[in-house]
Amino acid sequence: MQTRNKIFDDISQLMTNAMGVAQGAKGEAETAMKSLLDRWLADRDLVTREEFDAVRAMAQKAREENDALSARIAALEARAND
């Protein structure tokens, strides 16, 4: 009976070690994939969300200023033609 428990203990220990190795390999694979993806994205000329939002805000402000200046020019031309 004692031998049987030893066999089960050994099998249990083996499975525990195998799970540890599998988890370690999973962590290494995730790290390698993240590193590969980070390098791939860095090689592309992509912008961050913050940069995109900043440029969008600048474009919106420029559009509003352009509209205001166009209205001012139209008013000045109308006054000059009177």
Report the C-alpha gap between 36 and 39 in whole angstroms. 5
Give pTM, 2 decimals: 0.47
The confidence score (pLDDT) of residue 3 equals 63
pLDDT grade for 2, boundaries at 50, 70 and 90:
low
The confidence score (pLDDT) of residue 57 equals 98
Report the C-alpha gap between 18 and 24 in whole angstroms. 10
Alpha helices in 1-82 (DSSP H): 2-43, 49-81
DSSP one-letter string for 16-37: HHHHHHHHHHHHHHHHHHHHHH
| More confident call, 2 vs 73 | 73
Name residues whose C-beta falls within 8 Å of residue 47's C-beta, 6 or more positions apart in sequence: 55
pLDDT in tens, 21-79: 888 888 899 999 999 998 998 888 888 899 999 999 999 999 999 999 999 999 999 99
The confidence score (pLDDT) of residue 43 equals 87
State how far the alpha carbon of 33 is from the alpha carbons of 13, 40, 65, in Å. 30, 10, 46
